């Protein structure tokens, strides 16, 4: 895919190759702890003064966290392998581990506070953003990528209440369905922020909870699902530009607007007459009556297809 405009040229240009060593996954949880323990304050994984994690246990917060992280980085590894890693870790420290039972490890994972995991996620993402070099940015703008997905949660009564299963499945035959919308950094690849919802929540509605994490001067990049007036105009008011695929339900006419180049037009998008479900009444009233958009059309080269059979795609870019 290529474009005929300079605005998006650097999205598809090859990035400079940096001399890096071949990445290898740490072989044990204690190696993970040595590599990443300076990325966030160590006291976050210390024993609490009171509560579930205040007792002195073999599976302390630190041991449980690094073991769980090792297990996540090695997909398909059962809890028995994780426990064996803990036994070897404690043996190296001169501490005795009585049993290879996986039940205590599972209970320790369930006791981990969600707030600690969220704090560590934020600290690691901030650390990665600070280490990004300037040439990874797009025209001195931070590019934030938004996307949504769904996943299945453990089948517990609490999860079923918060995240009901799909209506297509019989009761008791399905898993709780969780919707997730997240913001990523295009420069560092770090997961910056996320929000959860159930099957009754739309991705656009969930994404509105993340607007506060976008600052003026950011560039929001997403797929065509996010190409709606509320999202583009709402971010435009915050000084955030959007680069989106044009939704297939939106009509476009290159005979209208101001020509800026081949397949490149400056157009205006008018506010719909009826309020959208993804906007609250207060938000709908403060949205502008119209916003300027840059409509770009680009050819998509399909390998093996002749030039006359090339399909065209369109992209909208809001201009704050």
Predicted local confidence at residue 3, as pLDDT:
39
C-beta of residue 192 within 8 angstroms of C-beta of residue 125: yes
Q: Among 153-167, 217-231, 300-314, which is the least confidently predicted range?
A: 300-314
* Cβ atoms < 10 Å from Cβ of 73: 12
For the chain, percent of residues with pLDDT exceeding 90 = 29
Higher per-residue pLDDT: 50 or 210: 210
The CA distance from 117 to 109, in Å, is 11
Q: What is the pLDDT of residues 85-98, one digit of tens each?
A: 888 888 887 777 66
Section 223-246 average pLDDT: 92
pLDDT band of residue 6 (cuts 50, 70, 90) is very low
Instruction: Tell me: pLDDT of 122 over 60.
Output: yes
C-beta of residue 30 within 8 angstroms of C-beta of residue 318: no
Q: What is the pLDDT of residues 294-308, one digit of tens each?
A: 988 877 777 776 555
pLDDT band of residue 50 (cuts 50, 70, 90) is low
Q: Among 53-57, 181-185, 266-270, 298-302, which is the least confidently predicted range?
A: 53-57
pLDDT band of residue 173 (cuts 50, 70, 90) is confident
- Give me the chain's average pLDDT, please: 82
Instruction: Tell me: pLDDT of 102 over 70.
Output: yes
Instruction: Tell me: pLDDT of 272 over 50.
Output: yes
Give pTM, 2 decimals. Answer: 0.78
* Cβ atoms < 10 Å from Cβ of 42: 10
pLDDT band of residue 271 (cuts 50, 70, 90) is very high
CA 271 to chain centre: 29
C-beta of residue 80 within 8 angstroms of C-beta of residue 104: no
The CA distance from 149 to 52, in Å, is 32
């Amino acid at each position: 895919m290529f474009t005929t405009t300079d605005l998006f040229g650097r999205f598809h240009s090859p990035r400079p190759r940096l001399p890096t060593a071949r990445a290898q996954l740490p072989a044990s949880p204690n190696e993970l702890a040595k590599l990443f323990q300076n990325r966030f304050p160590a006291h976050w994984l210390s024993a609490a003064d009171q509560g579930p994690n205040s007792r002195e246990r073999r599976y302390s917060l630190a041991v449980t966290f690094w073991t769980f992280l090792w297990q996540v980085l090695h997909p398909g590894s059962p809890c028995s392998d994780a426990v064996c890693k803990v036994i070897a870790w404690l043996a190296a420290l001169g501490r005795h581990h009585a049993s290879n039972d996986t039940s205590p490890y599972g209970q320790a994972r369930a006791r981990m506070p969600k707030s600690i995991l969220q704090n560590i996620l934020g600290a690691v993402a901030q650390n990665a953003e600070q280490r990004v070099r300037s040439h990874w940015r797009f025209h001195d703008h931070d590019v934030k990528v938004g996307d949504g997905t769904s996943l299945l949660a453990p089948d517990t009564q609490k999860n079923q209440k918060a995240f009901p299963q799909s209506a297509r499945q019989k009761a008791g035959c399905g898993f709780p369905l969780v919707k997730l919308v997240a913001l990523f950094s295009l420069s560092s690849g770090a997961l910056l922020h996320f929000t959860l919802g159930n099957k009754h929540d739309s991705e656009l509605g969930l994404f509105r909870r993340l607007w506060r994490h976008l600052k003026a001067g950011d560039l929001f990049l997403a797929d065509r699902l996010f190409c709606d007036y509320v999202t583009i105009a709402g971010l435009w008011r915050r000084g955030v530009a959007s680069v989106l695929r044009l939704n297939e339900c939106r009509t476009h006419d290159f005979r209208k607007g101001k020509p800026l180049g081949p397949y490149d037009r400056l157009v205006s998008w008018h506010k719909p007459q009826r309020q959208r479900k993804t906007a609250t009444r207060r938000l709908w009233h403060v949205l502008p009556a119209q916003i300027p958009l840059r409509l770009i059309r680009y050819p998509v080269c399909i390998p093996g297809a002749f030039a006359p059979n090339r399909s065209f795609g369109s992209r909208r870019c809001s201009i704050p």
